[in-house]
Amino acid sequence: MTHTDEAAAADADAWTVGRLLGWTTDWLAARGADSARLDAEVLLAHVRGCPRIALYTAFTELVPEGQRAAFRELVKRRGAGEPVAYLVGGREFFSLPFTVTRDVLVPRPETEGLVVRAIDLCKAAAAARIVDVGTGSGAIVVALAKHLPQGRLAASDISPAALEVARRNAARHGVADRIDFAECDLLADPRLAGPWDVIVSNPPYVREDEFAALPRDVRDHEPRGALVAGPTGVEIVARLAEAAETALAPGGWLLVEIGPAVAAAAEAVLAARPGLDRQPTLKDLAGLPRIVQARRRPA
């Protein structure tokens, strides 16, 4: 073998950025990861302390052993089902970076529809009054605060640990002084009595009999109390709809994210409230029912 051949063989065996990404993508895909390539890129970028896009100009760079060791540990945990957002401590939502811990659900693209709808309803108002019920990481209310600078905003959560994450995210994006956070069940805190122009919520909506069939990264790692509502999946929606009848201003909107499996039940809950007029359910980008809506009837 010539010196040139030996060098080529050595290069082929070297753990470059490109080789690591290729090997890891295959390994994660074999273990059921839905987005194996993206997962590999996010984890490696996290270990290297660079934006994910920077990996594409570094494919031939050797990855130092220290970084490889840290990357191997994260990949092993991802292969065992841990969500990437928990492994790297964050997730992007509505083009904003959010801190994420195991005390909150991982923000999902489907939930961005709630933000879009609330902005559409409030963009003409000089100072819309909006409350986010069950705020979790604060992704919804922080995104609304960034896009509705004149809005009056509040957020509630029954979990003090979740509220701490939400407060950190509000401070991170410079809107902490514009959001009133309340530790309570739904709207139980007197500060949240209203009247509100919009009540928005991504509440627990998984039925108890659905829980075992959830993807393992969700079922085994995300907080169960933020996922499961009860036997019907609409227990929280029903309680929130009742509260909205008095907390909304006349003509105010209730926007609630739901899962497709409980869409019909959630629509029935809203239709049954005498003080609310149910509005058409909005679909997500996959064409699935995702946001149930109602308006408070005039007084």
Average pLDDT over residues 181-196: 96
Contact at 8 Å (CB) between 229 and 236?
A: yes
Kindly tell me the sign of the dihedral angle through the C-alpha atoms of 281, 298, 237, 157. positive
Whether residue 160 is preceded by a cis peptide bond, meaning omega within 30 degrees of 0, is no
Indicate the pLDDT class of residue 124, thresholds 50, 70 and 90. Answer: confident
Question: Domains, the chain, ranges and CATH?
Answer: 3-80 (1.10.8), 93-296 (3.40.50.150)
Average pLDDT, the chain: 93
pLDDT, one tens digit per residue, over 68-109 is 999 999 999 999 999 999 999 999 999 999 999 999 999 999
pTM: 0.90
At 89 the three-state DSSP class reads coil
Helices and strands per DSSP (H, E), number in the chain: 11, 11
Indicate the pLDDT class of residue 1, thresholds 50, 70 and 90. Answer: very low
The fraction of the chain above a pLDDT of 90, given in percent, is 91
- Residue 126's pLDDT is 73
Residues 6 or more apart from 291 whose CB is under 8 A from it?
113, 114, 117, 255, 256, 257, 258, 281, 282
Contact at 8 Å (CB) between 262 and 232?
A: yes
